[in-house]
Amino acid sequence: MSTPKELKEKNPTYKYLIASALAEEMHAFYATDSAFENRILLDGEVEATKLKFDQTEQIVLTFACARMGMPHNAAAIMHIIEKYQPVYILFIGCCATLKDKGVKMGDVLIPKTVFNYELGKYKGWTFEPDNESYKLSERILKYAESLAKQKPDWLKFNVSTDDDFSSGSVVVDSASKKRRIKKLASRKANGLDMEAYSLGAIQYLQKYKHVGVIKGIMDLGKNKSDNDKPLAIKNAAKFAYEMLGYIEQSESRDILSILPKEDE
C-alpha cells in the first residue's frame, strides 16, 4: 500500500471525487469503510484514501465544502475538479422532498435533472419563472438504477433515479413556499435542496466528467426537523460508497480507457 508521501509524489490519476456541503455528511461517508481512517490531506482541503475493490484499487478524493448554498459549493468543487481532474463526481448529503405521499424519510434520490426555482424575471407585477434545467450524468443514473434493481442485502431503503430536483438559496420551511415551488416544478419533481443546481451546471460545463447527486430525504420541506437527518445522510453515504464498488466491477479496466482521446 502506498504511503501518504508516495500518494503526493506520484501525482496519480484520480477517478472519484465525493463531495458534500457539510462535514457531518462526509463523516457518514467515512463511516462506510475503515480505510478512510488512513486518509491523507492534499492541497485545497481535499483528502485522499486508497480503496481496494475486488479487482482494482482507486484513490478516492473527498471534500466537504463546510458551507451550504450554490455559489460556495460550485466555486469550491469546480476548483477541485480543475486541479485533480476526477472522472466521477458524487455529491452526497440530505434534502427535503416536494412530495407529500409515496416517500419515506431516508429514501435516497438520484435526480435526472435539476432546476433553480428562484430564477426568472418580473414583467410588470408578475414574476415569470425560468424553468431551464440541467441534466446530470446519464452514466451515473444507469449505474445507480442497475445497482438498486439488484436489491442487495444492505439496501434497506428506496432509491429513485426517475425524479427531478429543485434548488434555491433559501431554506424552504413552510407549506406555502413548497406549494409555490410545486407550481413551477415538473410532474417528476421530488428533491429540494440548496446545492443540486450548481452540480447540474458543473455537469454541463465539464463535458467529459460524470456528475451525480445522491441525497437522502430528511424532511417534507415544512415544519422542518433534524430528527431524520442522521438516517438520510447515512443512507446517501452508503449508496454512494456501494456505487464506487459497482462502477469498478462494471468497468474493470484502466481509468485511461474511459478518458476522452486528444482528438475527440
Q: Which CATH number is 195's domain given?
A: 3.40.50.1580
Separation CA 20–CA 226 (nearest Å): 17
Does 4 map to a domain? no
Question: What DSSP assignment string belongs to 205-246?
Answer: H-TT-EEEEEEEEEE-SSS--STTHHHHHHHHHHHHHHHHHH
Which of 141-145, 169-173, 191-195, 258-262 bottoms out in mean pLDDT, i.e. has the lowest? 258-262
Does 25 map to a domain? yes
Does 5 map to a domain? no
Q: Which residues constitute the domain of residue 185?
A: 12-258
The residue among 244, 234, 58, 229 whose CA lies nearest residue 144 is 244
Coil, helix or strand at residue 20: strand
Is the pLDDT at 44 greater than 50? The verdict is yes
Does 52 map to a domain? yes
Confirm whether pTM is higher than 0.85. Answer: yes
- Contact (CB, 8 A) for 240 and 92: yes
Q: Which residue has the cell 476548483?
A: 79
Does 3 map to a domain? no
Find the helix or strand (DSSP H, E) in which 87 lies.
none
Strand 164-167 and strand 189-193: the pairing is parallel
Q: What is the mean pLDDT of residues 157-179?
A: 85
Separation CA 7–CA 101 (nearest Å): 48
133 phi, psi to nearest 5 deg: -125, 165
Is the pLDDT at 85 greater than 60? The verdict is yes
Mean pLDDT of the chain: 87
- Contact (CB, 8 A) for 59 and 7: yes
Does 6 map to a domain? no
Residue range 99-124, pLDDT digits in tens: 888 889 999 999 999 988 877 777 77
> H-type helices in 85-215, by residue range?
138-149, 175-184, 196-205
Q: Which amino acid is at 217?
A: I
Residue range 221-256, pLDDT digits in tens: 888 889 999 999 999 999 999 999 999 999 975 555
Does 263 map to a domain? no
Domain count, the chain: 1
Does 7 map to a domain? no
Residue 48, C-beta contacts closer than 8 angstroms, at least 6 positions apart: 7, 14, 39, 40, 42, 59, 60, 61, 62
β strands within the chain, DSSP E: 16-20, 40-41, 47-52, 57-64, 88-97, 108-109, 113-116, 120-123, 126-129, 133-135, 159-160, 164-167, 189-193, 210-219
- Contact (CB, 8 A) for 250 and 143: yes
